[in-house]
Amino acid sequence: MMQLRPYQRECVDAVYQHLRTRDDNPCAVVPTAGGKTPIMATICKDAVGQWNGRVLVLAHVKELLEQTADKLRAVCPEVPFGIYSAGLKRRDTAHAVIVAGIQSVYKRACELDRFDLVLVDEAHLIALEGEGMYRQFLADAKVINPDLRIVGFTATPFRLKTGPICTPEGILNTICFEVGVRQLIRDGFLCPLITKAGLNKADFAGLHVRGGEFIADEIEALMDHDRLVEAACGETVAYARDRRGVLIFASGVQHGEHIVRVLSERHGVACGFVTGETPLKDRDAILGRFRRGELKYLCNVNVLTTGFDAPHIDCVALVRPTMSPGLYYQMVGRGFRLHPGKQNCLVLDFGGNVLRHGPVDDIQIATADRSHGPAPAKECPECQALIAAGCATCPQCGYCFPPPERQKHDAKASEAGILKGQVTITHYRVEDIRYSVHAKRGAPQDAPRSMRVDYRLGWQEYQSEWICFEHEGYARQKAVAWWRCHSRDPIPETAERAVEIALGGGVAAARGITVRTVAGDEFQRIVDYQLDPLPQAIDLDSFGSYHPDEIPF
């Protein structure tokens, strides 16, 4: 008999407690690959064996139906169950437990007769309003049995446009149990994820949004550019050299075919390809070869986001942007499953999705009042204060944020951790350095200024920092520490004095810098320098005064 994991047992108990003490319908939130199916199988076993009830399990793809049937056989072989699915060529109606595809049964509630309990897998697909298939079937089922109880299961308890799936007036009303990605990774039940951003970054600013998602034709036209496809394929092959199973999400059929062709012709890599139009027999054959390891690479368009179980996947390439946090999560979630010899799953994000939605264990859900715009707050990278997004200078430590234009035109995508708090350390060679006095735009003439240091790392690629000699408290302390590492001259009292010394050769030049990025933080920070030897202190009186237009760069 299958032994439930501790959190799975807690979930089962939470569902029972809710059904006993409340009269509405609960939802349980369990991450992708966290084992929702054994939980549902256990509930089916208890409902039939202990309470003499009848249960219907609803899902929307045949892979989920097959998984549920397999788990029912393992958990409760004594419980008679049937399958109702056109795709599986079964139409059982008289069993104590029926596993059914919603597309096959949504008009046939009367044919299936009375149920006491309905379990809905991927419950976020239940429409909040209107006449969707789930709503139609459940409404008819409640006519047959007004006391019918419904339990939802999902990894993503939110919708793209309408927010939470549990509402007082909805079909599902309350989350009764929730376990997070981070906890399951910590406890060894999910595979750790690491991430890399694409070096060649598409400009997503020109994409339009319709119905809460990027317009499909625009996505494909953008991502199907030769340069982007060739770069993504090259990086994927390089990063996945020691990986065993690579799952690629393309932006459209033409784009997917382009990826498969480049992988084959330029890299000698065989890659399977499935779309919604792939004949079922061909699709099953391709997926079988991938699961058996005969194909290392598998590219798909909108078909392997839910229900696809290939535990050996240790690299997921997102070669498509999405505005949907649920879709982003489902794509990444294909790599969560554990497998012998699998240390982690590498997520290659060529669509800017990690930066758009946040780490996968702390996804930021856009609300109706701000759509998909910027977050209403940001964190100061120097003192960690949370301040209004529009602030150019931190009111607590005086840190000056980079102007939007500089961030917008960076040529290289910064790497973002796929899990909140995940730290990425990157070393850069510095090609040039610029020192300047920086004053907040619109600030009074006597407002504190800072010395801005811009490090050029490559073509149109910069990393900047602000050294706040004229500020007080923590910002001044940081400036003093910075100066003592870089110069033998006395600590300057003004930004202008600091720039004079720097331009006069009194500051050690950085030949390299080390940048620390924490997933969930908006800004990177410099944590180490590879400096030339400290220069001797200089005589400023013989150097002259600082003039902004005299700075060489």
Q: In CATH, what number is assigned to the domain containing residue 274?
A: 3.40.50.300
Q: Is residue 370 situated within a structural domain?
A: no
Residues 34 and 61 in one domain: yes
Distances (CA, A) of 102 to 51, 135, 384: 25, 10, 48
Q: Is residue 364 situated within a structural domain?
A: no
* Domain boundary, last residue among 154, 185, 216: 185
Pairing state between β 97-101 and 246-249: unpaired
Residues 406 and 517 in one domain: yes
Residues 283 and 389 in one domain: no
Distances (CA, A) of 279 to 58, 60, 197, 283: 24, 18, 33, 6
Q: Is residue 1 situated within a structural domain?
A: no
**What is the domain range of residue 503?**
377-550
| DSSP letters spanning 432-451 | EEEEEEE--TT--TTS--EE
* Domain boundary, last residue among 357, 392, 415: 357
The C-alpha atoms of residue 253 and residue 416 are separated, in whole angstroms, by: 28
Residues 263 and 401 in one domain: no
Residues 312 and 439 in one domain: no
What order do you get walking across the sheet with 55-59 strand by strand?
Answer: 90-91, 81-85, 97-101, 55-59, 117-121, 149-154, 26-29, 174-178
- The C-alpha angle with vertex 103 and arms to 100 and 104, in degrees rounded to 5, equals 55
527 φ, ψ (degrees, to nearest 5): -115, -10
- Dihedral sign, CA of 293, 297, 299, 302? positive
Q: Is residue 366 situated within a structural domain?
A: no
Compute CA 150 distance to the chain's CA centroid, rounded to the nearest angstrom: 29
Q: Is residue 117 situated within a structural domain?
A: yes
Residues 181 and 195 in one domain: no
Q: How many domains does the chain have?
A: 3
* Domain boundary, last residue among 151, 185, 219: 185
Residue 267, number of CB atoms within 10 A of its CB: 16
Residues 297 and 424 in one domain: no
Residue 281, number of CB atoms within 10 A of its CB: 8
Residues 349 and 383 in one domain: no
Q: Is residue 365 situated within a structural domain?
A: no
What order do you get walking across the sheet with 450-458 strand by strand?
Answer: 432-438, 450-458, 461-467
Residuewise pLDDT in 10s, the chain (553 residues): 578 999 999 999 999 999 999 999 999 999 988 988 889 989 999 999 899 999 999 988 777 787 778 878 877 788 888 888 887 888 888 889 999 988 888 888 888 989 999 999 988 888 877 778 899 999 999 999 999 999 999 988 877 666 788 988 889 999 999 998 888 988 999 998 888 777 777 888 888 888 778 999 999 999 999 999 999 999 999 999 999 999 999 999 999 999 999 999 999 999 999 998 999 899 999 999 999 999 999 999 988 877 678 999 999 999 999 988 888 888 999 999 999 999 999 999 999 888 788 777 666 655 443 344 444 334 455 533 334 444 565 544 556 666 554 333 333 333 556 666 667 788 888 888 989 998 877 778 888 999 999 988 865 567 889 999 999 888 888 999 999 999 999 999 999 999 999 988 899 999 999 988 776 666 678 988 999 999 888 654 444 443 333 333 2
Q: Is residue 525 situated within a structural domain?
A: yes
Q: Is residue 111 situated within a structural domain?
A: yes
Residues 135 and 24 in one domain: yes
pTM summary value: 0.65
Residues 391 and 316 in one domain: no
| 466 DSSP β-pair partners | 452
The candidate with the shortest Cα–Cα distance to 35, out of 187, 155, 157, 119, is 155
Residues 250 and 397 in one domain: no
The C-alpha atoms of residue 14 and residue 18 are separated, in whole angstroms, by: 6
Residues 401 and 543 in one domain: yes
